[in-house]
Amino acid sequence: MRRIGLLVMLMLLQGCSSVAYLHHSWQGQRDLLSRAQPLEEVLQNPATDPQLVKRLRQAQQIRAYASGHLQLPDNASYTRYADLPRPYALWNLFVAEPLSMDAVAHCYPFFGCIAYKGYFDQASAEEAAEHWREQGYEVYVAGIPAYSTLGWYDDPLLSSMLHWDDNYLAELLFHELAHQQFYVKDDTAFNESFASFVGQQGLREWRAEQGLAALPDDPRAQEREFVQLLLHAREQLLALYASAASDADKLAGKAAVFSQLRADYQRWRDARWQGTGPYDHWFAGELNNARLLPFGLYDQWIPAFAELYRTSGSWPAFYQAVERLGNLSDSERTAALLALLERGAERP
């Protein structure tokens, strides 16, 4: 029954537009779960690398803090460890039309429509991307270190989650558990911004609990400057595509926007690093609509959730307020979030 349940879950979560994709998803999820071992078994194994033992013990503490202090789901998620033979858990494929900033959505029963499609190996993602490209669409494939089954199954810790420091691990665990806490169908920006806020605020409180120095107000200021460059280009493209210009003029304008984006990045990079910068690899690929799709989804409403948390007074009250927002209609939810943004911006 568990195998049948897993198959049904995969059909719902990943979709089954083709037998080949269903088989790929089934095999990938089954392989991932088969690699998961209870953390205590890994920790007690003499052959386990001491550095891995240290990271896993830290993960245990972070997991306990998530449920004990942040009031996130208290279940068996992240109490097992899976060593993956690849750098990422998934590769997400983003698809867009040449003159649109809307993602080609992939819709699943219960989970709603999502702006990407996940593959358990890069070759399959690239093959699917080529299929869309041949049909005239623009594509972008991005490696993803972790994903959530939204509580359908007990998600394990993955080796792909441990490539960075403990701050990253804590924020990532809080983020993924937040998806289990609350999820709205068909609203990727709401879901990801909510989870991102929980991750960031949870990290601040966890560090305080550990007696560690407070992080700067914006510990990723450099990253956010980079993202703002991309979001500015995205806004220009949105306006261009919505205009009455001919398709030929839109394509010419699009090329100009991406050319200006490269120039803006080079000026920003040279001012900060006098040459080679940490985001050069992103600009090494083709610039297109699909490549811009992920940006904005994860932080669009973070200030709104920050204001909601400030006025809620506790994590349980905050989650109740988030649920009330999630139960609104799309237009009502957007209006409420905009009001929270304005209220937060007016505070000194």
pLDDT of residue 113: 78
pLDDT of residue 294: 87
Neighbours of 337 (CB within 10 A): 22
Q: Are 104 and 68 in contact (CB under 8 A)?
A: no
pLDDT of residue 29: 87
Domain regions of the chain by residue span = 221-292, 302-346
Task: Look up tokens 């966890």; give the residue.
Answer: 206
| CA distance linking residue 300 with residue 304, whole number of Å | 9
Q: What's the predicted TM-score (pTM) here?
A: 0.84
Task: Look up tokens 């998530």; give the residue.
Answer: 66
| CA distance linking residue 75 with residue 208, whole number of Å | 24
- Greatest alpha-carbon pair distance for the chain in Å reads 68
| CA distance linking residue 341 with residue 291, whole number of Å | 27
Low-confidence ranges of the chain (pLDDT < 70): 1-19, 108-111, 215-221, 348
pLDDT of residue 91: 96
Return mean pLDDT, the chain: 89
pLDDT of residue 216: 61
pLDDT of residue 249: 98
List all residues 6 or more positions away from 292 whose beta carbon is below 8 Å from its beta carbon.
101, 230, 233, 234, 237
pLDDT of residue 11: 45
Residue-wise pLDDT for 138-197, tens only, equals 999 999 999 988 888 899 999 999 999 999 999 999 999 999 999 998 898 899 999 999
**Segments in the chain forming alpha helices (H):** 2-14, 19-34, 39-44, 50-68, 122-134, 166-181, 188-209, 221-242, 247-273, 280-284, 289-292, 302-312, 315-326, 330-346
